[in-house]
Amino acid sequence: MKALYWLLLLWSSLIPLNANHYVISNAFLNQKSVDFVEKISSELYEKTGVRLYIVSVDSLQAEGKQEREKFKTSILKDLNKPYGVIFFIKSHKKIDIVLNPKIDSINPDTIITEYMVPILMQDKKLSNPAISASILNGYAQLAEEIANHFHQELPENIIVDKSGAKNFVHYTFLTMLGMMFLLVIGVYVFGRKKR
């Protein structure tokens, strides 16, 4: 009986009482999004040992970088390494990604500028659905990059473009732009020769 008691105590300590343990603070995500984050974060932790968290707040007690840093430090001091945290503070209009320890193959600024900010730019009022979509998009990309760093896959993650279609469109656009430039130069050069 005593062994059963200790087994139940150990089991309960491994399972968090709060189901939202990867969403530390949530001001914008709906329950379906929170469930998605919990599912992917659990899978990421099982496969890589890295915990990935989200902290989203509407405002802090005061404005300024010092207040932001104090807030981030208060959250980060209680986390076990290795971890990643996406911070979104609406009143400061600030997104930050912290990885501890840093992973050289992951650039948080790129994730913010390419996967999060473009969604926010579509809605100047910063509505909750836009913020939620932005956070989830950045979260999915960060989770994917962490998994790739450890040579793992997250099949349940939001579909990330692995086909190279984005690069194909980009290079096709650049090629067409280059051809237009050459055509204009050609018309200008050959037009001058005829005169």
* pTM value surpassing 0.85: no
pLDDT for residue 133 is more than 80 = yes
Percent of the chain as helix, strand, coil, to the nearest 5: 55, 10, 30
Tokens of 184: 């204009």
Percent pLDDT > 70 in the chain is 83
SS3 category, 95: strand
Asked if residue 91 has pLDDT above 60, the reply is yes
Instruction: Average the pLDDT over 67-92 and give the result.
Output: 90
pLDDT at 47 over 90: yes
- At residue 6, the pLDDT reads 37
In this prediction, residue 149 carries a pLDDT of: 93
pLDDT in tens, 138-194: 999 999 999 999 999 998 887 655 445 566 677 788 888 888 888 888 888 887 776
DSSP annotation of 53 reads: E
Going from N- to C-terminal start, the domains of the chain cover 14-160, 163-195
What is the CATH number that goes with domain 14-160? Answer: 3.10.310.50
Long-range contacts, stretch 166-175, CB < 8 angstroms, 24+ apart:
none
Neighbours of 147 (CB within 10 A): 20
pLDDT above 90 covers what percent of the chain?
A: 32
Tell me what the mean pLDDT of segment 42-62 comes to: 91
**Does residue 19 surpass a pLDDT of 50?**
no
Task: Give the mean model confidence (pLDDT) for residues 50-77.
Answer: 88
> How many whole angstroms separate alpha carbon 118 and alpha carbon 112?
9
